[in-house]
């Protein structure tokens, strides 16, 4: 049972480049979320999804897009990377709205 799998683990981008952070879970969880973690800021919610085809914005959605075409996958897209998006990104999933979240191992992203 792999749980929540994030790829890549590390990435360096140049300002203006685009990329997609991948997130997949094999637990058949309906709820999935993306967070970013910055020093002293805790984990801040970027986007979340309550099921395939349904997404919504969290606290810090600007500069990011998401889609949920399947239950398993929830990719996060940076359309035009900016240095302010340098962060560690975590994907999470949970079975129902108030169950504990299972987290991936994170993606460390640097924007130069």
Partner 1 sequence: AQKVTQAQTEISVVEKEDVTLDCVYETRDTTYYLFWYKQPPSGELVFLIRRNSFDEQNEISGRYSWNFQKSTSSFNFTITASQVVDSAVYFCALSEAAQAGTALIFGKGTTLSVSS
Binding site for partner 1 (CB under 8 A): 31, 33, 35, 40-45, 48, 50, 56, 58, 88, 90, 92, 96-103, 105-106
The least distance separating partner 1 from the CB of residue 57, rounded to whole angstroms, comes to: 10
Q: Which is nearer to partner 1, 46 or 111 (CB)?
A: 46
Q: Which is nearer to partner 1, 49 or 85 (CB)?
A: 49
Q: Which is nearer to partner 1, 16 or 38 (CB)?
A: 38
Please work out, in degrees rounded to the nearest 5, the angle formed at the alpha carbon of residue 111 by the alpha carbons of 94 and 3: 20
The least distance separating partner 1 from the CB of residue 45, rounded to whole angstroms, comes to: 5
Tokens for 47, please give them: 């986007």
**What's phi and psi for 85, nearest 5 deg?**
-95, 5
Q: Which is nearer to partner 1, 64 or 90 (CB)?
A: 90
Residue reference for tokens 């790829």: 7
Give the C-alpha separation, 56 to 21, whole Å.
17
The least distance separating partner 1 from the CB of residue 64, rounded to whole angstroms, comes to: 14
The least distance separating partner 1 from the CB of residue 15, rounded to whole angstroms, comes to: 25
Give the Å distances, CA to CA, from 59 to 7, 16, 26, 72: 23, 23, 26, 23
Q: Residues 45, 31: contact at Cβ < 8 Å?
A: no
């Amino acid at each position: 049972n792999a749980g929540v799998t994030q790829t890549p683990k590390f990435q360096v981008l140049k300002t203006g480049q685009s990329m997609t952070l991948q997130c997949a879970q094999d637990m058949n969880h309906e709820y999935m979320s993306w967070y970013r973690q910055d020093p002293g800021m805790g984990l801040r919610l970027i986007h979340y999804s309550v099921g395939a085809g349904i997404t919504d914005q969290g606290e810090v959605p600007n500069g990011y897009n998401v889609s949920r075409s399947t239950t398993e996958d929830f990719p996060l897209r940076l359309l035009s990377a900016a240095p302010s998006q340098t962060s560690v990104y975590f994907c999470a999933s949970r079975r129902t709205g108030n169950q504990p979240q299972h987290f991936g191992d994170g993606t460390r992203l640097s924007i130069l």
